[in-house]
Amino acid sequence: MVRYIIHADMDAFYAAVEQLDNPELRGKPVIVGGSVEARGVVSAASYEVRKFGVHSSMPMAQAMKLCPHAVILPVRMERYIELSAKIRNIFDSYTAKVEPISIDEAFLDVTDCVKVLGPADHIGRDIKRKIKDEVGLTVSIGIAPNKFLAKLASDLEKPDGFVVITDENKQGILDPLPVNKIWGVGKVTDKTLESHGIRTIENLRRCSLANLRLIVGNCADELLGLAKGVDNRPVETESQAKSISSEHTFATDIKDYDTLRSVVFGQVQEVAQRLRSKGLKAKTITLKFRYGNFRTVTRSKSITEASATTDTLWQACKEVFQKWYNNSGGALRLIGFGVSGLLEENAGQQSLFVNPEEEKQKRVDKAVDAIRERFGEDALRLGE
């Protein structure tokens, strides 16, 4: 059976939100991130400023040299989370099979919806229209028979893109692309493949499995499958998942402590809100660190009592993050925060004695969620 997978990826999300909230910034080069004085980095760059060579994860000092007249704005994570929730509601109105990847992108499986809602491309265009009309932002849509191709499709014509890849046209689209367009092919793997004359996906596809194993080892089978457009992973909803997480991939490797900590803090807030919206709590937190050479490590910590409060998750996360940074911190290509050991909010043995601090945090989170939902970001902001 043919699957219809949509990958929705918001365009320059943080910067686009700033331009949405302040119309005077529309059409101007906008950078969201830390200050030059604090040796900050670019968290997001509008398409207007990208023309000057500015991109996310670039040191702010370098960005300002490339575009001295750019408008620099601080990260407003709570506002981005607020609009992300509205976008998620739009996704949910089409299908129950939604897999959020981060605050600004998600996979949707609409295979079971086409008989009722019409062809997948009609659904994709309707999603684009709704996000534009109801949220005021543009999204790039990729539609394909699997997750790898859908994600690749959404990136081909950004911003405001719309690309459909089918079993019939997939190889014609894949073959000319550079091999680093494949998930998992970072700078190190890319250079290794290039040293063996493998520069395009077609070069990779025509390489024998035996030879490829000599070059890249155990990941040869997966790479060869992706080069042929094969990816059997299902779209995994949060109700099916054993964990909830958020990840961020940097355009260039980042080592700066404040930048990494700020990104993780935003991820904790996002994951905590998703837990509470689902009536869940978590027993374990996990941080994921992927280095420039694509080596990936995870560090976990169990919480004494399962929780969905932002503060409890952040305190556990800070401890794990600080220990990693002190012992083995390095330049990262990707950082992620997740929770596992999920339980229903009222599941488990209930203590006879209420933890006053935990109850206080629950009330704070409940109030914050309600205020943001009703009045928006400007009504209330979280700090560490």
105 is an active site residue? yes
Q: How far apart are CA 296 and CA 273, in angstroms?
A: 26
Structure tokens at 117: 């809602």
Can you state the percent helix, strand and coil of the chain, rounding each to 5? 45, 25, 30
Spatial distance between the Cα atoms of 274 and 323, rounded to a whole number of angstroms: 26
How far does CA 44 lie from the centroid of its chain?
13
Which of 48, 105, 270, 377 is flagged as catalytic? 105
| Rounded Cα–Cα distance for residues 40 and 54 (Å) | 14
Question: Which is nearest to 264 in space by CA: 281, 285, 283, 279?
Answer: 285
The gap from C-alpha 351 to its chain's centroid, in whole angstroms, comes to: 36
For residue 41, give the DSSP letter: B
Q: Is the Cβ–Cβ distance between 105 and 13 less than 8 Å?
A: no
**Contacts (Cβ under 8 Å, ≥6 apart) of 320:** 285, 287, 299, 300, 301
d(CA 349, CA 307): 13
Active site (catalytic) residues: 105
